[in-house]
Structure 1
Amino acid sequence: MSAPAMDGPTADAPKRRVSPRQLARRRRAASLRRNWAEFRTHRSGVVGLVVLGAIIAIALLAPLIAPAEGLEVTKATGGVLEPPSWEYPLGTDENGRSILTLLIWGARVSLLVGIVATVISMVIGTLVGIMSGFFEGWPARLLFRLTEWFLVLPFLLLAIVVASVLPRSLFNIALVIGVTSWAGTALLIRSQTLSIKERPYLERARALGAGRWHQMTRHVLPNVMPMVFANTTLTVAIAILAETTLSFLGLGDPTAVSWGSMLQSAFDVGAMTTGAWWYIVPPGLCVLTVVLSFTLVGQALEEIFNPRLKKR
């Protein structure tokens, strides 16, 4: 009797092997889908994400929504502190410019400074936190004492002192906020690093001859990144508040319009005493909305990535 014929040409073909990179990509994709599904269960986080998406879209489309000519004082067509009307839905400032136009373009500056400052803060905080938690001896103690020193100093006071020394520009404001606000992130990442350093897979890596750089970049950093990402959204809110405060105190870029500079200009012209509430309330509400949205998203992400909060 002859052997039965096999159906199809793939019967004798060897099974296709999956490379480690493909396996890692599949795991990351599955983790992202799982985290997104869990994030959607947090209604407050979803609301905050939708509001942030709308504000970011308005900031990116500012040239199409409100032409940049509306920012020029010489081309202003409105009256001085004119109340809201059909032509100017949110009124005008002391130069006759539309408050709505200033708000739309101010969103660009406030978000840009907040995001750049947060990136600087996250990079410094993550590096210091990993090194102070992973290394031993006097380097770790020195980095930890430096972190404690920055935690003890009042963040806003230190930012004001440094900002008053540097030239006034958007990058310098972002640099000041980032350099003075990394200590909290460093302390969080240090505690995570100390926990990861004692796990079995890191002991196996050391037994196989892995160096410190390999352990930090291949094992410690990927495991602390979820906490870094969750903490980033919370830090953006703090950075935007700091930018608003520095601009309100006159330490921001005088050539750029931000929500903080709008509040500072409204204070200078006495908008509250003259009853021009439309000059103060809109930028204040914008700052409050963005900070609250980032906080809601950050709290949802922190609950997803923090195992202790998951158990609660």
Structure 2
Amino acid sequence: MSRTAILGGALLALFALVAVFAPLLAPFSPLAYSGAPLEPPSLRHLLGTDGTGQDILSQLIYGGRVSLLVGLCAALGGIMLGAGLGMAAGVYGGLTDRFVMRFVDIFLTIPHLPLMVLLAAHFRPQLSTTIAVLIFFSLPVEARLVRSQVLSLRQREFLDAARLAGATKFYLLRRYILPELVPLLLAQVVIRTSWAILAESGLAFLGLGDPTAKSWGIMLKQALDYQAIYFTPAWQWWLLPPGLCITALIMALTTTGYALEEKFNPTLSEVKR
């Protein structure tokens, strides 16, 4: 594994630890009014306060927990459902395969961003809505990927031998195909988490996120909504930290995910050789 991947994994572990121990690390509640508006960084408020007097460092720490929660839930949900459809299409074939793949093909031709904004704006802005929308958009991509891997695995000789011995398709799926897919799916969890975090930040930035959950996207939205943000030095401690955290987390997830995918995806390994 490359040094970049190791660095990305270490940074990802750091973000995860901060998110897990947020109640112990944050000096204040992210929703508490702990100071005057727009206080500059000090010993009491290391990153100052926002326009309502809330501690920005506390929001940043808890924001990592919200962003990671949304990203991980959306990635796991999309991969589980997409993998289920992809495995069913690849193993059973026939009408099942045609139905699933036509749904995937039609969905992939639709511009994602306008539809994502439309769905997020139509339903009540809360974390569960954001997660559900992101799962819906992850599902077709994962279904296509898993189906292609299943079709490749079906050509293995040991599966032919198992079929000749009377093994059912469900048995083949559970006993042979699914274990082969697990490493690739783990890599996809990391990659789709980074996509989901970026998408959640974008939706929150557009005002379609849950305003009561202090994610990094919500912090950016609230900072930019403050009309005097660029007429004071507050942008340095209010706007920059969440943007830098999103960038660092996406880079950590991307490098880690690509390293895992390169290791477990046989197609990429063959191309590299």
Whether TM exceeds 0.5 here: the answer is: yes
1:58 corresponds to: 18
> Superposition pairs for residues 147-296 of structure 1, below 5 Å?
147-270=104-227, 272-275=229-232, 276-277=234-235, 278-296=237-255
Q: 1:59–1:108: 8 Å Cα contact kept in structure 2?
A: yes
Q: 1:271–1:280: 8 Å Cα contact kept in structure 2?
A: no
**Which secondary structure state, in structure 2, belongs to the residue aligned with residue 182 of structure 1?**
helix
Q: 1:130–1:190: 8 Å Cα contact kept in structure 2?
A: yes
Between Structure 1 and Structure 2, how many residues are aligned? 269
* Residues 145-203 of structure 1: CA deviation (Å, up to 9, x unaligned): 11112222233322222222222221221111111122222111111111111211111
Report the Cα offset of residue 254 of structure 1: 1.9
Report the Cα offset of residue 44 of structure 1: 1.1
1:305 corresponds to: 264
Q: 2:194–2:250: 8 Å Cα contact kept in structure 1?
A: yes
Q: 1:162–1:176: 8 Å Cα contact kept in structure 2?
A: yes
Report the Cα offset of residue 297 of structure 1: 0.3
Q: CA RMSD in A?
A: 1.6
Query: Which letter maps to 2:13?
Result: G
Q: 1:231–1:302: 8 Å Cα contact kept in structure 2?
A: yes
**Which secondary structure state, in structure 1, belongs to the residue aligned with residue 202 of structure 2?**
helix
Distance 1:160 1:200 in 2: 47
Report the Cα offset of residue 287 of structure 1: 0.5
Report the Cα offset of residue 294 of structure 1: 0.4
Bigger CA radius of gyration: 1
Distance 1:285 1:59 in 2: 16
Unmatched runs of 5 consecutive residues or more in structure 1? 1-40
1:4 corresponds to: none
Report the Cα offset of residue 142 of structure 1: 1.1
Q: 1:155–1:181: 8 Å Cα contact kept in structure 2?
A: no
Return the structure number with greater relative CO, CA threshold 8 A, min gap 6: 2
TM-score (norm 2): 0.93
Structure-2 change in CA distance of 1:69 and 1:306 (3 Å) = closer
Unmatched runs of 5 consecutive residues or more in structure 2? none
Distance 2:43 2:183 in 1: 47
Q: 1:156–1:242: 8 Å Cα contact kept in structure 2?
A: no
Distance 2:159 2:118 in 1: 43
Query: Which letter maps to 2:18?
Result: I
2:88 corresponds to: 131
Q: 2:37–2:52: 8 Å Cα contact kept in structure 1?
A: yes
The runs of at least 4 consecutive aligned structure 1 residues that moved more than 6 Å come to: none
Report the Cα offset of residue 107 of structure 1: 0.8
Q: 2:72–2:189: 8 Å Cα contact kept in structure 1?
A: no
Distance 2:58 2:28 in 1: 8
2:42 corresponds to: 85
Query: Which letter maps to 2:12?
Result: L
* Residues 202-242 of structure 1: CA deviation (Å, up to 9, x unaligned): 11111111111111111111112221111111100000011
1:44 corresponds to: 4
**Which secondary structure state, in structure 2, belongs to the residue aligned with residue 251 of structure 1?**
coil
Check if 1:111 corresponds to 2:61: no
Distance 1:148 1:91 in 2: 49
How many percent identity over aligned positions? 40
* Residues 111-161 of structure 1: CA deviation (Å, up to 9, x unaligned): 111100111110111011111222222221110011112222233322222
Structure-2 change in CA distance of 1:70 and 1:263 (3 Å) = closer
